[in-house]
Amino acid sequence: MSIAVGCAVMVCAVAALVGCCAGASGVILHPAGEPNLAVWQDRPTTTVIGRWGSNASCVVVSPNCIVTTRHQGGSAATVIRVDGVAYGIDRIWNHPQADLRVVRLLGAAFNDFVDLYDAGGEIGRSVVIGGYGLIRDQELATGGTVYGYSWQATGNTVLRMGTNRIDSIPPPTLGDTYTSEILAADFDGLGSGFATQYECTVARHDSGGGWFIKRDGQWRLAGLSRSIEAHYAEGHEDDPNYILEQSWFRNRGQPELSDPDYLDAVRIGPYADWIRLALGSPMPGDLNEDLRVDFADAAILGWHWGRTDCASPDFCGRADFEPDGDVDFDDLAWLAVHWLTPGLDP
C-alpha cells in the first residue's frame, strides 16, 4: 500500500468520526440490486447483523452480546436493533486500544450468533460483508466510462450483503484515536478478473458491520468494517471539507485505468480472547466487570464489607458475589482466588 493511500485512509477514518452525527462509514455493490438475499444462501444468516443506533452496524456474537466499532460513538442510551427488535444496553466493554467494543443487551436471547474467527491465514480468503449502510446511487463516468458510484443520502435501514477477498493485513496505524489490527481489501471493477461474484465495498453507516469467513462449514466473524478510501472534489485533494460520498474502482481522470478503492476492517482474531472474556462476564471476583480482578474490585468489596442487606439485582454492588445476602470472608475468597486474573494484557 502506498503512503498516499495510507493518508487517504487516515483522513477517511477521521471523516467517519466527524461525520457520525451525520453518519459513520452501506454495502455498495455491483451490479445494483444484487445479490438477492432470498436466493443467495451461501452467506451468514441475516439475523446476526444488527443496527447500532441510527448510524452504524453491529454483529451478534452470543445469545445476548454484540460487537461493533467505537468510532461511530454512541452511549449507554443507544438502541440496538436486531431482526427488527429494539434492545437497550446493559453493559459496554470498550477495548483499551482497538476500535472495538462488546455490548451486552438487555432482554436479548438470540438463537443466531456467530463464532469468532481466530485461525489466522486471512489473506486470500473470501469474505461476506454485511451492514446497514448507505447504498449506491448514480453511476459516475468520465468520457462515457463508468469509474464509480455516488451514494444515496438515505436508506440505511436495510441490511445488505456482498463479497470480497482479503488482500493484506497492513500494520496498525499508530497515532490515531484507536490503534487496531486490521484486514484490508479493495473494490475491484466488474470483469477486472479480481472481482468476486458479488464484489462490494462499504459506505457510511456500515461501520461495525461484519466480515465473515467460512471455516469448517460455519460462518465466523473475522472483521468489523472500519474505514474506506476517501475521495475529494477536483482541485480539493485531501481537504476533508470536500469529501465526496462516492465509491470508485477506476481512476476518475483516466478511467481506462483500474484503481479499486481500499476498504478495511478491525481484525477480530487478535482480540478474540478479550472478546470471549467479556462474553463470559461476570467472572468470579470481577465485581466491576472490567475483565480484571484487581484493586478496584477490592475497593468495592471494602466499601460494602460487613453489610447483611444485599439483595437482587445489585447484591451490594456485586460485592456479595455468591450471593447469599452478606459481604464477608466468603466473598473475599472469590477475589483472593482470582486475584489479578486473567492476566490478559490487552
Decide whether 52 or 206 has the Cβ nearer to Ca ion. Answer: 206
Decide whether 99 or 326 has the Cβ nearer to Ca ion. Answer: 326
CA distance linking residue 191 with residue 54, whole number of Å: 35
CA distance linking residue 256 with residue 129, whole number of Å: 28
* Cell representation of residue 167: 488482500
Q: C-beta of 339: minimal distance to Ca ion in Å? A: 11
CA distance linking residue 249 with residue 185, whole number of Å: 12
Decide whether 58 or 129 has the Cβ nearer to Ca ion. Answer: 129
Q: Are 94 and 251 in contact (CB under 8 A)?
A: no
Q: C-beta of 259: minimal distance to Ca ion in Å? A: 12
DSSP letter, residue 8: H
Burial 56-92 (b: 16+ CB within 10 A, else e): bbbbbbbebbbbbbbbbebeeebebbbeeeebebebb
Q: C-beta of 86: minimal distance to Ca ion in Å? A: 30
Q: In degrees, to the nearest 5, what angle opens at C-alpha 104 toward C-alphas 135 and 125?
A: 50
Q: Residue 33: name the closest of 122, 133, 135, 116 by CA.
A: 135
* Cell representation of residue 204: 457510511
Q: Catalog residues that contact Ca ion under the rule CB under 5 A.
A: 164, 186, 188, 286, 288, 290, 292, 297, 320, 322, 324, 326, 331
Q: C-beta of 21: minimal distance to Ca ion in Å? A: 31
CA distance linking residue 75 with residue 95, whole number of Å: 15
Decide whether 238 or 324 has the Cβ nearer to Ca ion. Answer: 324
* Cell representation of residue 192: 477486472
Q: C-beta of 79: minimal distance to Ca ion in Å? A: 27
* Cell representation of residue 314: 445489585
Decide whether 256 or 324 has the Cβ nearer to Ca ion. Answer: 324
* Cell representation of residue 44: 451468514
Q: Residue 132: name the closest of 14, 75, 48, 237 by CA.
A: 48
Q: C-beta of 262: minimal distance to Ca ion in Å? A: 10
Q: C-beta of 104: minimal distance to Ca ion in Å? A: 15
Decide whether 186 or 264 has the Cβ nearer to Ca ion. Answer: 186
User: Phi and psi dihedrals of 6, rounded to 5?
Assistant: -60, -45
How many other C-beta atoms are found inside a 10 Å radius of the C-beta of residue 184?
22
Q: C-beta of 93: minimal distance to Ca ion in Å? A: 11
Decide whether 220 or 292 has the Cβ nearer to Ca ion. Answer: 292
Decide whether 67 or 300 has the Cβ nearer to Ca ion. Answer: 300
